[in-house]
Amino acid sequence: MIKPHGADKLRPLLNTDQALVAEAESLPSMLLSSAAAANAVMLGGGYFTPLTGFMNVDDALSVATNMHTTGGLFWPVPVLNLVDDVSSIENHARIALRDPNVDGRPVIAIMDVDNIERLSDEQFETLTKQTFGTDDPAHPGVSVFQAQGRYCVSGPIEVLNLSYFETEFAGTFKTAVEIRDEINALGWETVVAFQTRNPMHLAHEELCRMAMERLDADGIVVHMLLGKLKAGDIPASVRDACIRKMVDVYFPENTVLVNGYGFDMLYAGPREALLHAVFRQNMGATHLIVGRDHAGVGDYYGPFDAQAIFDELPDDALDIEIFAADHTAWSKKLDRVVMMREAPDHSPEDYVFLSGTKVRDMLSQGIAPPPEFSRPEVAEILMDYYRSSDAA
């Protein structure tokens, strides 16, 4: 089985010892941002192996500019705990970190504080531009990052729970440890990971099938993001229902695992694609599908920037490999889904292609997209959602 990134075995930071839970209530505390809480969940579940906690400014800047920590570990995105007020924790060596996403703001982790540092304007700009490729506040990831604060609180953590993901997405949310165990129990050796923050239409389904066949894979993990998204994105519970229906009806048994992870979307394009590869290696995948505009938003990144960045890495940066995919769509000429680069004789009119706006309009009116675009069982779930008050 593929080794975890930078370690011989996973290093999940989850510790549910009741003595630790009791201690947490006696400690001075700070309220995390949602982004920092999501980082804690990823650390707790082993996805961010071999990190031991939140990065200090030197490590964060090194990661942002060189994609390595100061100790030489390859890492593509700073893992930070940023806050705008540190008055409650100043001069304290051990603190409790509170979860902003759960009622009552319970403690999610305990931190041994190594540093409390204030980012300069120059450092803040470097972190933003290097991570997101832009400092445009209209970029949803930049907007969230810039709102977190300028104080960087760093140090190792022990994670006491995995936030709302364990209860709200019971059966779907899994730690990297749990997914590795599932893969191992199935005896899979070549494992493909498919990242998604959207429901899967027919083209996504066929892309997974293509990757499995061409890589002679034992199975695929459809691994959906369960954390915060930008306004207008479809909720995780609806995506989960769509994906499970598609897998149940259209894939052979014991070839697909449907799981999710507790992280907030960064929309950071190429850098986020690399982060996806890191934590998919940690969960046991040997390959990651990286498609057109992977983890992108708007026009901030080129369509294949997220694939090209992998070509810039040193050979020893990652063990996981990518399956580089083009846009996929139904070919009217061939009567099947194809990757566009593999159909050079096609013109745009030869494909069944619908914009996201068009699909949303159809679904909200109770009109199913054509079967060349979406499975009818999936379309029915989405029509129910768009007709409900939740999508209003």
pLDDT tier, 46 (very low <50, low <70, confident <90, very high otherwise): very high
pLDDT for 132 beyond 60: yes
Strand, helix or coil for residue 377? helix
By the 8 A CB rule, do 280 and 193 touch? yes
- Paired strand residues for 224: 196, 260
The answer to whether domain 18-166 and domain 171-391 are alike in fold is no
Amino acid identity for residue 243 in this structure:
I
58-104: pLDDT as tens digits: 999 999 999 999 999 999 999 999 999 999 999 999 999 999 999 99
Identify the active-site residue in 15, 198, 360, 387.
198
Can you list the positions of beta strands (E) in the chain?
29-31, 53-54, 82-83, 94-98, 107-112, 115-118, 151-159, 191-196, 219-225, 256-261, 287-290, 321-324, 328-331, 336-339, 351-352
Place of tokens 């960064």: 266
274-304: pLDDT as tens digits: 999 999 999 999 999 999 999 999 999 999 9
Question: Rounded mean pLDDT of 102-114?
Answer: 97
Report which secondary-structure segment, H or E, holds 384.
Answer: helix 376-387
Q: What is the pLDDT of residue 76?
A: 98
By the 8 A CB rule, do 370 and 357 touch? no
Strand, helix or coil for residue 287? strand
CA distances from 47 to 50, 245, 260, 326, 335 (A): 9, 27, 12, 27, 40
- Paired strand residues for 96: 29, 110
Q: What is the pLDDT of residue 391?
A: 55
pTM: 0.95
Identify the active-site residue in 94, 150, 197, 387.
197
Place of tokens 């304007």: 121
Is 81 labeled as catalytic in the residue annotation? no
Question: Rounded mean pLDDT of 129-142?
Answer: 97
> Is the domain 18-166 a CATH 3.10.400.10 member?
yes
CB 143: neighbour CB atoms within 10 A? 13
189-232: pLDDT as tens digits: 999 999 999 889 999 999 999 999 999 999 999 999 999 988 77
pLDDT tier, 387 (very low <50, low <70, confident <90, very high otherwise): confident
User: What are residue 115's phi and psi, to 5 degrees?
Assistant: -150, 145
User: What are residue 207's phi and psi, to 5 degrees?
Assistant: -65, -45
Is 360 labeled as catalytic in the residue annotation? no
Q: Would you call 194 exposed, middle or buried from its count of C-beta atoms within 10 A (0-12, 13-18, 19+)?
A: buried
Q: Would you call 247 exposed, middle or buried from its count of C-beta atoms within 10 A (0-12, 13-18, 19+)?
A: buried
- CA dist 25 and 45 (Å) reads 22
pLDDT for 246 beyond 80: yes
What per-residue string of b and e applies to 118-135 under the rule 16 or more CB within 10 Å gives b? ebeeebbebbbebbbbbb
341-369: pLDDT as tens digits: 999 999 999 999 888 888 888 998 999 99
The C-alpha torsion from 64 through 67 and 72 to 73, rounded to 10°, is: 110
**Residue, of 234 and 324, whose pLDDT is higher:** 324
CATH superfamily of 171-391: HUPs (3.40.50.620)
Question: Rounded mean pLDDT of 376-384?
Answer: 94
- CA dist 277 and 270 (Å) reads 11
- CA dist 243 and 325 (Å) reads 20
Q: What is the pLDDT of residue 389?
A: 57
- CA dist 219 and 256 (Å) reads 6
Q: What is the pLDDT of residue 24?
A: 96
Question: Rounded mean pLDDT of 39-59?
Answer: 98
Could you state, in order of their start, the residue ranges of all structural domains in the chain?
Answer: 18-166, 171-391
pLDDT for 390 beyond 70: no
Chain mean pLDDT for the chain: 95
- CA dist 249 and 258 (Å) reads 13
Alpha carbon 347 to its chain centroid, in Å, reads: 34
